[in-house]
Every structure is written in C-alpha cells, then in structure tokens.
Structure 1
Amino acid sequence: MCLGIPGEIVEIRDDDSQLATVDVVGVRRVINIGLIGREALAKGDWVLVHVGFAMSKIDEAEAAATLELLSGLGQAYTDELAALAESDIT
C-alpha cells in the first residue's frame, strides 16, 4: 500500500533543483516540490508527501488529523515510514 504522509518543510533549497527537506514524524528527507512550486511554499508549511514528491499543500490541522488517522493503520503505516526512512532522492 502506498500512502501520502504529511511532512513539515524545514528547508527549501536555494538552487533551482525544486527540492526541499521535510520532517515526517521525526524522519527528515529531501523531496521534490516541483508539482506545487517553490513560490507557493515556505519553511513551516505542511505538504502531503508521496513517493518523494510533495503532492499538495495542507494546513497544520489537516496534517495532524491525517497523521492520527494513519497511525491507526498499523503495519501499512509502519511500512511506509520505514520506506521513507530508507529513501534518498539526492
């Protein structure tokens, strides 16, 4: 199962790579923000992350509700977090 997981942007790269670092439940990973556009995002914003891409911008309340819901999925959520922790698009 593939899930979209909320992540908080902690850094947007200064170059033209369309990459940002997000924190997803304590795991920091570089993701591509090209589908949303860097001008629409800032440090502290929340995005829905799927397979290394920010799919949409969400607010903090939606992120918290989604994380709570996902934590109830058990193994599928655990597997997705493990896959995220092992990924690296840089």
Structure 2
Amino acid sequence: MCLGIPGKIVEMPADHADLARVDVSGVRRAIDVGLLEGEELRPGDWILIHAGFALSKIDKDEARAAMEFLEGIGQAYDELAALKESSLDASGRGEA
C-alpha cells in the first residue's frame, strides 16, 4: 500500500527547479516535484507526497481529508497498543 501525505508548498527555490520547500504538519522539508513536470506549482498549493516525491497536486479539501484519515489511523494504532497492554491471560491476570 502506498501512503501519501499532504503538504503545503511554502517556497519554490529558483535555483532548484525540481524542488519545493513544503510544510507537512509544521515540519518543513525539501520535496522533489520533478514528477509533476508541466503542473503549475506555487506557494500555497497542496501536494500529495510519498517517499520525498510529490505524486500529485491536490486541493485544500483533499489535503484536509487525507490528514484526518492519517490521524485516524494513528489513533487506531494507539488503541490497539492499549488493548494489547490491557489483555488478560487465562489466569485473569494481565500479561507481563
């Protein structure tokens, strides 16, 4: 499964045409936008990122929906870990 993470372009460095500085949940990273050749990109645009590469340009609503989904997955993993930690063995005592 390929997991894309939304990021907002904050800068398009003039000296690196294939790179954009992108904000992903408060963390800024340089992302390769070479796969989006021909797509008009500018600060404020949202892109879907996987493994350091921009896969597609998306709109703000798509970005918000993707982040909500990813946050939901994270909460599910937290709940699974809590459930595992609280499981009971056959004796009725928690596992060590």
Give the shorter-chain TM-score range: 0.7 to 0.9
* 1:63 and 2:51 aligned: no
Q: Which has the larger radius of gyration?
A: 2
Unpaired segments of 5 or more residues in structure 2?
A: 78-96
TM-score, with length taken from structure 1: 0.76
Percent sequence identity is 61
1:4-23 deviations in whole A, cap 9, x for unaligned?
10000000110244111000
CA-atom RMSD in angstroms: 2.3
Amino acid paired to 2:46: W
Aligned match of 1:49: 49
Runs of 5+ consecutive residues of structure 1 not aligned to the other structure: 78-90
8 Å Cα contact 1:18-1:38 kept in structure 2: no
Give the letter aligned to residue 22 of structure 1.
Answer: V
Cα-to-partner distance string for 1:17-63 (whole Å, 9 max, x where unaligned): 41110000011100000000275101000000000000000000110
Q: TM-score normalized by structure 2?
A: 0.71
The ranges of structure 1 where at least 4 consecutive aligned residues each deviate by more than 4 angstroms after the TM superposition are none
Q: Aligned letter for 1:50?
A: H
Q: Which has the higher contact order (CA 8 A, sep 6+)?
A: 1
